[in-house]
Amino acid sequence: MATRNEEILRKPEWLKIKLNTNQNYTGLKKMMREKNLHTVCEEAKCPNIHECWGERRTATFMILGAVCTRACRFCAVKTGLPNELDLNEPERVAESVELMNLKHVVITAVARDDLKDGGSEVYAETIRKVRERNPYTTIEVLPSDMGGSFDNWERLMNARPDILNHNIETVRRLTPRVRARATYDRSLEVLRRSKELQPDIPTKSSLMVGLGETWDEILEVMDDLRANDVDIMTIGQYLQPSRKHIKVQKYYSPLEFGKLRKIAMDKGFKHCQAGPMVRSSYHADEQVNEAAKQRQALGEA
- Residue 272 is assigned to a ligand binding site: no
- Measure CA of the first residue to CA of the last residue in the chain; give whole Å: 61
Residue 52 labeled ligand binder: yes
Burial of 36 from C-beta contacts in 10 A (0-12 / 13-18 / 19+): exposed
Task: Tell me, rounded to whole angstroms, the distance of Cα 147 from its chain centroid.
Answer: 18
Phi, then psi, of 168 in degrees rounded to 5: -75, -25
Which of 210, 209, 203 lies closest to 221, judged by CA? Answer: 209
Length of the chain: 301
Query: 46-82 in b/e burial notation, b at 16+ Cβ within 10 A?
Result: bbbbbbbbbeeebbbbbbbbbbbbbebebbbbeeeeb
Q: Are 15 and 276 in contact (CB under 8 A)?
A: yes
Count CA within 13 A, CB hemisphere, residue 21: 1
Q: What share of the chain is helix, strand, coil (3-state, %, to 5)?
A: 45, 15, 45
How many CA atoms, within 13 angstroms, populate the side-chain half-sphere of residue 218?
A: 24
Residues 6+ apart with CB under 8 A from 73: 177, 178, 179, 180, 245, 246
75 is in an annotated binding site: yes
Binding site, by residue number, is 41, 46, 52, 68, 72, 75, 281
Binding site for [4Fe-4S] cluster, by residue number, is 41, 46, 52, 68, 72, 75, 281
